[in-house]
Amino acid sequence: MIIIAAVFLLGFIFAYYLHVKRKHEFWQDQGVPHPKPVLLFGNIIKMITLQCTLSEFLNSLYRNYQDSPFVGFYNFLTPAIVLRDPEVIEYCLVKNFDSFSATLIRPADPIVKLNPFFCEERMWKALRKLLAPNFSSLKIKLMLDRMERVGKNMTSYLEGNNCSIRADELAFMFTGNNVMVCAYGVDNESFLSNSSIMNGIRDSMSMGTMPITHTLGLFFPNLCKMLNISYMGKQVPESFKNLIARVVEDRKVDKKEFVDFLKESKMKNDLTFLGHAMAFFLDGYETSANLLTYALLELARNPSVQIQAQNELDDINSAKKSIYSYEALKDMSYLESVVFEAVQRNAWCLYQMHMGTKDLFESKKVRKYLYQLRQFIEMPNTILTHINLTLFALVRRAVAEELNIPF
């Protein structure tokens, strides 16, 4: 009996070994370069053991396969591919985005998962239809007076502070104030009180540990759900839920603002209105603050650019009698270029992940390599937006003067 069981077990192990080996021969059969996989784990063993983050892994693939437009790897037994060729990336993200609209990210947090960034195509379209009217040009114009007040408070804060100030903390205070006053209708005078409700919420979510939680959330979503670990860090804190609930509850007059949209959403679904509020928090606060931090860094590195940007602001202020009006903002072409170039040189979203959803490609070039469309594809934004500055140096110099490329 023991011998029969041992033979059966050995036969099962051998059969499973052949199955795994066959799975790990996919990219070899397709003729796509790829690192040698480890049995069972594929190429993600270092990420599982937290020796590196997913971003670092993708960047290493990009650097180590300079002559290939694609690099294959294995997520356990599932083949995945890193896109390096800008033409193929454009094909997937722009020309044929419907074939790659699915995302692999499955946040355990029921509130964060309502963010359009993490939604499947149908839900994404529904949420986009709901949210888009709240970000029209007219709605943005109505927010400018509040943004001006926040900007003037920040100026007073800087003028009255004789100590050194961390640029990232300043950026988070600025975007936090704007989100509070523009989205939630609450005056959080953090520049006057030197405290920020938004920073407190951010700290309570432990967003500084995001590289680890990202890795766990991508490869072990079920485990994260059991351990109550959110893809963004910890679960949305009670302080945020209580803040939004109080703001919505106290809203008396309908001014057709984002707060009124939240109030209307709450009457339909309690969880959805918190999801909309958290989406504004992530997109308007966290992301914008990181962008401003990088923009300040690039301005500090390039004094001549800083002077030219200041001259543009002075000229607009003289002509428009303000730098906060909608018309003034439209004329800030050079400052706009500074912001765009800061994003170009310092990608905050380190990579993008998509999963193929259709079985038909028009491009033979792409179809040859993306043969099995149920695999997921990844694009390391940090490398694509930074290293390729050298690759496109001649083109950039040719258009620098016309497009006001500052750095």
Tens-digit pLDDT profile for residues 163-187: 888 898 889 888 888 888 887 777 7
* CATH of residue 173: 1.10.630.10
Q: How many folded domains does the chain comprise? A: 2
Domain range for residue 388?
Answer: 2-102+350-403
In residues, how long is the chain?
407
The mean per-residue pLDDT over the stretch 64-80 comes to 83
More confident residue, 189 or 45: 45
Convert the pLDDT of each residue in 242-288 to its tens digit.
777 777 777 666 666 677 777 667 666 666 777 777 777 777 788 88
pLDDT at position 403 is 52
Give the mean pLDDT of the chain: 74
Q: Domain boundary at 274, 301, 328, which?
A: 301
| Integer-rounded Cα radius of gyration of the chain | 25
pLDDT at position 394 is 44
For β-strands 376-380 and 70-75, DSSP reports them as unpaired
pLDDT at position 312 is 94
Same domain, 130 and 192: yes
**Is residue 109 in a domain?**
no
pLDDT at residue 60 tops 80: yes
**% of the chain surpassing 90 pLDDT:** 7
pTM: 0.73
**Is residue 260 in a domain?**
yes
Q: Which residues contact 392 (CB under 8 A, 6 or more apart)?
A: none
**The CA-based dihedral angle spanning residues 155, 161, 163, 169, taken in that order and rounded to the nearest 10 degrees:** -50
**Is residue 86 in a domain?**
yes
The mean per-residue pLDDT over the stretch 317-329 comes to 89
Same domain, 85 and 149: no
The mean per-residue pLDDT over the stretch 81-105 comes to 73
The mean per-residue pLDDT over the stretch 19-40 comes to 85
Angle at the Cα of 340 (from 338 to 342), degrees rounded to 5?
70
Report the DSSP beta bridge partners of residue 81.
72, 377
**Is residue 35 in a domain?**
yes
pLDDT at position 314 is 94
Same domain, 255 and 289: yes
**Is residue 312 in a domain?**
no
Same domain, 232 and 366: no
Find out whether 282 and 232 touch, Cβ atoms under 8 Å: yes
The mean per-residue pLDDT over the stretch 8-23 comes to 84
- Cα 183 to Cα 142, 154, 174, 262: the distances in Å are 11, 19, 14, 9
